């Protein structure tokens, strides 16, 4: 019943925001990218309105996904993101050889269809793991229990608002990058977007996936006062992420141009666009390891119900990103915004480590994995340069 109340409350707020954006698409587009001229705003407004419809859908997907996670069911959430990609690919196939504006319309509706598919598979999964009766019961007895729900809500609010701020600062940073990039040369927003998509791949594949899978287990262990076992899981995750993200970062930095060309250099995306996106990607990749490890250590704070501390760290990170973005945008343009993001990630990583505790850090670092890290980094570096040379010889 408490879950039903929270779900209804926040879905109502999100639907209200979505309705506002669809009612005033031009004003909403101007707020997102204030540097755009009137003609660009006119073009972007209908697409902003359509794509915003994805917001309530992904909220419901995320909400249902949290219940599945506590049932140790991660496959549906992991698989569902592929449905969005399939919907976008389908939209592109259907709109091929059409005018560019019509292609964007198809893609926008593809986003909405992808969101609907994601929601559908989560509803099916909720039925399969046996959680559907809990939702039915919550709706059925909602009026009878609403007084006790209000008492629970007051405790929830104390943790929720710091948690939502702590988890939303990354979105604020992305919004800031888009807003500032709208003042730069045409294509800057695209360079940031394309580079960030590549950067997010190892971050999501390894760091976010590990954190999501580990959180329920660590949370239970800490609630049962078994901190030693919880720390052992954190140790394994730390060394796994450190090694795999270091290797991913090295490959990305060395082969950034080749990766960008392979993924994007076709059609209207020229070789000059590849070079611009490459430098932005390299700046993002500097922050891959600190961003990934920050995700890991942040889960410890949330598992210990230290949402306020996590929110403060997120505020420091966002504040440093704003200052650095303003300082670096003039000399380095889009590349400066990406570098500012990476440097602010280092700031967040420092404060997250501090909150995690020096004693816990020393316990993790005492394990004999440093040599493996060095060897894997060296081998990856040599193989990356060898592959780079091979690509240039044969392509």
Separation of alpha carbons 297 and 87, rounded Å? 34
Please indicate, yes or no, whether residues 136 and 189 belong to a single structural domain of this protein.
no
Please give the Cα distance from 56 to 18 (Å, whole number): 8
61 and 167 fall within a common domain:
no
Q: Cβ(96)–Cβ(39) under 8 Å?
A: no
Average confidence (pLDDT) over 300-313: 85
Give the model confidence (pLDDT) of 172-222 as tens digits: 777 788 788 878 887 888 899 899 989 988 988 888 888 878 888 888 888
Q: Range of 294's domain? A: 162-395
Indicate whether 72 pLDDT > 90: no
The CA R_g of the chain, rounded to the nearest whole Å, is 22
Same domain, 304 and 347: yes
The string of DSSP codes covering 246-277 is HHHHHHHHHSHHHHHHHHH-STT--HHHHHHH
The answer to the question of residue 157 being in a domain is: no
Query: Which residues are CB-contacts of 236 (< 8 A; sequence separation ≥ 6)?
Result: none
Two structure tokens written together for 316: 């420091």
Asked whether the predicted pLDDT for residue 138 surpasses 60, the reply is no
| Same domain? 255 vs 182 | yes
Q: Whose CA is closest to 264, among 281, 244, 285, 284?
A: 281
Are 130 and 209 found together in one domain?
no
Res 3 pLDDT > 80: no
Q: Is 266 left (phi over 0), alpha (psi -120 to 50) or beta?
A: beta
Overall average pLDDT of the 47-64 stretch: 89
The fraction of the chain above a pLDDT of 90, given in percent, is 38
Residue 55 has pLDDT above 60, yes or no: yes
In a domain, 107, yes or no: yes
Q: Is residue 45 part of a domain?
A: yes
Judge whether 199 lies within some domain. Answer: yes
Specify whether 168 is located in the same domain as 136: no
- Is 354:306 a contact under the CB 8 Å cutoff? no
pLDDT at position 147 is: 56
Do 198 and 326 belong to one domain?
A: yes
pLDDT at 227: 87
* Other residues' Cβ atoms within 10 Å of the Cβ of residue 264: 18
Nearest to 95 by CA among 87, 84, 106: 106
Q: Does the structure show a pLDDT above 90 at 144?
A: no
Q: How confident is the model at residue 26 (pLDDT cuts 50, 70, 90)?
A: confident
Q: Kindly tell me the burial class for residue 9, based on how many C-beta atoms sit within 10 Å of its own C-beta (0-12, 13-18, 19 or more).
A: exposed
Residue 94 inside a domain? The answer is yes
Tally the domains of the chain.
Answer: 2
pLDDT band with cut points at 50, 70 and 90 for residue 288: very high
Task: Answer whether 0.85 is exceeded by the pTM.
Answer: no
CA distance 338 to 329: 9
The reply to whether 135 falls in a domain is yes
Residue 349 falls within a domain, yes or no?
A: yes
More confident residue, 9 or 257: 257
In a domain, 150, yes or no: no
Judge if 28 and 110 occupy the same domain: yes
Q: How far apart are CA 22 and CA 47, in angstroms?
A: 10
Together in a domain, 123 and 203: no
| Contact of 230 with 285, CB cutoff 8 Å | no
One domain, residues 217 and 108: no
């Amino acid at each position: 019943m408490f879950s039903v109340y929270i779900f209804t409350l926040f879905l109502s707020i999100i639907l209200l925001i979505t309705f506002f954006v669809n009612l005033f698409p031009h004003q909403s587009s101007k707020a997102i990218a204030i540097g755009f001229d009137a003609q660009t705003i006119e073009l972007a407004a209908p697409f902003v309105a359509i794509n915003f419809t994805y917001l309530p859908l992904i909220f419901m997907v995320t909400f249902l996904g949290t219940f599945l996670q506590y049932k140790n069911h991660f496959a549906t959430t992991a698989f569902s993101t592929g449905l969005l990609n399939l919907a976008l690919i389908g939209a592109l196939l259907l709109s091929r050889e059409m005018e560019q504006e019509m292609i964007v319309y198809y893609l926008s509706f593809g986003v909405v269809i992808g969101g609907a598919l994601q929601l559908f598979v989560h509803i099916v999964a909720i039925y399969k793991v046996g959680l559907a009766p809990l939702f039915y019961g919550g709706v059925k007895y909602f009026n009878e229990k609403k007084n006790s729900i209000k008492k629970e809500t007051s405790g929830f609010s104390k943790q929720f608002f710091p948690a939502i701020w702590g988890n939303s600062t990354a979105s604020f940073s992305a919004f800031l990058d888009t807003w500032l990039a709208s003042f730069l040369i045409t294509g800057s927003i695209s360079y940031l977007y394309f580079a960030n998509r590549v950067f997010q791949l190892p971050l999501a594949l390894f760091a976010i996936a590990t954190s999501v899978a580990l959180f329920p287990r660590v949370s239970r262990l800490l609630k049962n006062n078994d901190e030693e076992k919880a720390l052992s899981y954190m140790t394994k995750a730390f060394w796994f992420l450190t090694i795999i993200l270091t290797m991913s970062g090295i490959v990305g930095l060395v082969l950034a141009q080749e990766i960008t060309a392979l993924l994007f250099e076709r059609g209207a995306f020229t070789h000059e666009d590849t070079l611009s996106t490459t430098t932005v990607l390299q700046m993002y990749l500097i922050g891959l390891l600190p961003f990934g490890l920050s995700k890991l250590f942040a889960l410890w704070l949330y598992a210990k119900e230290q949402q306020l501390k996590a929110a403060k760290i997120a505020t420091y990170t966002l504040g440093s990103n704003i200052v650095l973005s303003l300082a670096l945008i003039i000399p380095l343009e889009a590349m400066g915004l990406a570098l500012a993001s990476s440097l602010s990630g280092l700031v967040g990583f420092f404060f997250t480590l501090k909150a995690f505790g020096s004693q816990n850090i020393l316990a993790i670092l005492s394990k004999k994995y440093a040599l493996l890290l060095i060897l894997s980094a060296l081998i990856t570096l040599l193989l990356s340069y060898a592959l780079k040379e091979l690509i240039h010889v044969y392509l």
